[in-house]
Amino acid sequence: MPLMPLAGFRMHYVERGAGERVVVFVHGWLSSHRWWEPVLNRLPPDIRAFALDWRGAGGSDPVEEGHTLTQYAMDLHAFAEAMGLPPFWLVGHSMGGGVAMRYALDHPERLRGLMLVNPLAPFGTRTDPQMDAWVRAQQGNPEGIRAMVQLAFAAPPSPEVIEALIADAMRWGPAAYFGTLDDMARFHVVEELPRLRVPTLVLWGDRDVVIPFDGIAAIFTRIPNCGLEIWHGVGHSPAHEAPERLVSLLMRFIDECRSIEQGA
Predicted local distance difference test score (pLDDT) of residue 181:
97
User: Per residue in 224-236, pLDDT tens?
Assistant: 989 999 999 999 9
108, amino acid identity: P
Predicted local distance difference test score (pLDDT) of residue 6:
97
- Give CA–CA dist 183/238, Å, rounded: 24
| Domains delineated in the chain | 3-263 (3.40.50.1820)
Confidence of residue 47 (pLDDT cuts 50, 70, 90): very high
Confidence of residue 179 (pLDDT cuts 50, 70, 90): very high
Alpha helices by DSSP H, 116-242: 129-137, 142-150, 159-170, 174-186, 213-222, 238-241
Percent of the chain scoring above 70 in pLDDT: 100
User: Per residue in 88-123, pLDDT tens?
Assistant: 999 999 999 999 999 999 999 999 999 999 999 999
Predicted local distance difference test score (pLDDT) of residue 45:
97
Residue 151's φ and ψ, nearest 5 degrees, are -65, -20
Residue 69 pLDDT > 70, yes or no? yes
Nearest Cα to Cα of residue 220 among 233, 212, 211, 229: 229
Residue 263 pLDDT > 80, yes or no? no
Element (H, E) at 256: helix 243-263
Predicted local distance difference test score (pLDDT) of residue 260:
87
Q: Is 201 helix (H, G, I), strand (E, B) or coil?
A: strand
Confidence of residue 264 (pLDDT cuts 50, 70, 90): low
User: Per residue in 49-65, pLDDT tens?
Assistant: 999 999 999 999 999 99
Kindly report the pTM of this predicted structure. Answer: 0.97
Predicted local distance difference test score (pLDDT) of residue 28:
98
How far CA 172 is from CA of 156, 166, 199, 212, in Å, comes to: 22, 10, 32, 24
Residue 42 pLDDT > 80, yes or no? yes
Query: What mean pLDDT comes out for the span 147-157?
Result: 95
Percent of the chain scoring above 90 in pLDDT: 96
Mean pLDDT of the chain: 97
Query: What mean pLDDT comes out for the span 136-144?
Result: 97
Give CA angle at 152 (249, 21), nearest 5°.
30
Residue 1 pLDDT > 80, yes or no? no
Query: What mean pLDDT comes out for the span 217-226?
Result: 97
